[in-house]
Amino acid sequence: MAAHMFGAWLVERGVVSAEAVVRGLDRQQAARLPLGRLALEAGLLSMSQVFMILNKQVGTSKLFGEIAVEEGFITAKDLTVLLFEQTRRHVPLGLLLVDMGELDAAVLAPELELFKRQEPNNRHAVDASDDTIGGQPST
């Protein structure tokens, strides 16, 4: 059986509404930091290099990081570090739902644990950052 996504799990269990999950996912996407911004913060790219990469991206299916490496602006290792940082700053859906007032924080941790135990594949369907509640690892 395919792994469930945590938001769908919460909806199926009647913990939150589908509308709340959609709003949470929208917030999650809006909060995602673009790779170019992270590269600027890290001092790996200049603004002109970011714009050049963005211009080269138009009309292609190439990713920002792929072009940055191809152009020699950053190394593959730099890209790996940037992608790790982007993932590290990812805000888990559960925490967004708590912040939005759609889910009680006391309900989040046990639901997440039950979700992971329900089916072994679910452990991989949840982002690693979803294992944290308020910045602390859940147990």
Instruction: Dig out the tokens for 119 from the structure.
Output: 């089916």
Please list the pLDDT of the chain residue by residue as tens digits (139 residues): 334 589 999 999 999 999 999 999 999 999 999 999 999 999 999 999 999 999 999 999 999 999 999 999 999 999 999 999 999 998 999 999 999 999 999 999 999 999 988 866 665 555 433 433 333 333 3
- Can you say whether the dihedral through the CA atoms of 19, 25, 29, 30 is positive or negative? positive
Strand partners, 137: 132
Q: Look at residue 135 in the predicted model and tell me its pLDDT.
A: 37
94 closest CA partner among 42, 20, 40: 20
Cβ atoms 64, 36 nearer than 8 A: yes
**pLDDT (0 to 100) of residue 139:** 30
| pLDDT in the model for residue 34 | 95
pTM: 0.68
d(CA 139, CA 113): 8
pLDDT of residue 137: 34
Rounded Cα distance between 5 and 68, Å, is 32
> Checking phi first, is residue 17 left (phi over 0); if not, alpha (psi -120 to 50) or beta?
beta
Residue whose C-alpha is closest to residue 133's, from 104, 108, 97, 103? 108
pLDDT of res. 121 = 66
